[in-house]
Every structure is written in C-alpha cells, then in structure tokens.
C-alpha cells in the first residue's frame, strides 16, 4: 500500500513541476506587474486549463503527502532508537576518581621562599655583551 501511494505521489510531483513550468510567466516576482486585464489585480482571474490541472495535481499531491504521513505514523514503533538490540544504553558508567575536598591542590613553594618569607625572586642583571673596563 505504501509503495503504491509513494509511486502516485512521485508521479504527481513530477506532473506538478511540469505543469507549473508550462504556464505563462506573469512578470515580476509573486505575480506583481502581470500587466492588463485578467491578471492578479482584477476581480476575477482567468481560469485556464493549465491552472485547473495545476490545482488538481496540487490537491492530489497534498492528499498523498498526508496519506504517507499517516502510513508512516502507523508503521512507527512505540519504542525508542535506544531500545534497539545492540545499543549501549545500559552500559555501566566507568568509575570516576573522586578528589578529596580537603586535599591541598597548590604545590609547596617552601624551597623557593627566602628566609624573610618573601617569595619574590632576586632582581636579575641584564645579560648583555661584556664591556672591558675603561682605561684612563
């Protein structure tokens, strides 16, 4: 049943594309600027044979679209994709190491501290080319 409706749906789609491409262009976008009488701005538009065929194909396309949606909803299972066999949904979670909140996370800087308790590094002399002492 689904294959038959799908085949009809595809035929309607191709027919609708063909009929729309066969119709005369109205000019600017969205039917604006179509020209004189019988256009989009008049009280009653001219119903040509191609326009009637377009409406029939469009209605058939919508009906087959809705039918395919209903068929797909009926064929769909009530379960989840994760319920399929072979899924790793019930796999155990690996043990995560727990960090002791009382643990000291800052490294001990006692070796770098000076005897006065100042942890500032001594001022370094700039390294540059050595200049000989000036002779007088």
**Residue 20 included in any domain:** yes
Domain count, the chain: 1
Task: Supply the pLDDT for residue 18.
Answer: 94
**Residue 58 included in any domain:** yes
Enclosing domain of residue 68: 1-24+48-75
Write down the H helix ranges in the chain: 2-22, 49-75
**Residue 52 included in any domain:** yes
Q: What is the pTM of this model?
A: 0.47
What average pLDDT does this structure show over 25-44? Answer: 54
**Taken in order 39, 40, 44, 47, is the CA torsion positive or negative?**
positive
What average pLDDT does this structure show over 26-48? Answer: 55
**Residue 91 included in any domain:** no
Of 99 and 71, the structure prediction assigns the larger pLDDT to 71
Contact 26, 34 (CB under 8 A): yes
DSSP class of residue 89 equals T
**Residue 4 included in any domain:** yes
Contacts of 121 (CB under 8 A, 6+ apart): 112
pLDDT at 58 over 60: yes
Cα separation values, 38 from 21, 34, 46, Å: 20, 9, 6
**Residue 6 included in any domain:** yes
CA 73 from centre of chain:
24
**Residue 9 included in any domain:** yes
Cα separation values, 120 from 22, 106, 111, 125, Å: 86, 17, 12, 15
Task: Supply the pLDDT for residue 44.
Answer: 47
Rounded CA separation 10/82 (Å): 33
**Residue 123 included in any domain:** no
């Amino acid at each position: 049943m689904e294959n038959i409706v799908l085949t009809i749906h595809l035929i309607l789609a191709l027919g609708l594309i063909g009929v729309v491409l066969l119709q005369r262009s109205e000019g600017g976008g969205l039917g604006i600027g179509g020209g004189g009488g019988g256009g989009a701005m008049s009280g009653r538009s001219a119903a040509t044979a191609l326009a009637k065929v377009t409406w029939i194909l469009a209605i058939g396309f919508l009906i087959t679209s809705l039918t395919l949606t209903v068929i797909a909803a009926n064929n769909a299972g009530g379960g989840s994709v994760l319920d399929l066999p072979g899924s790793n949904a019930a796999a155990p979670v690996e043990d995560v190491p727990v960090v002791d909140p009382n643990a000291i996370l800052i490294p001990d800087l006692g070796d770098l501290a000076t005897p006065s308790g100042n942890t500032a590094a001594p001022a370094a002399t700039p390294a540059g080319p050595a200049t000989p002492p000036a002779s007088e």
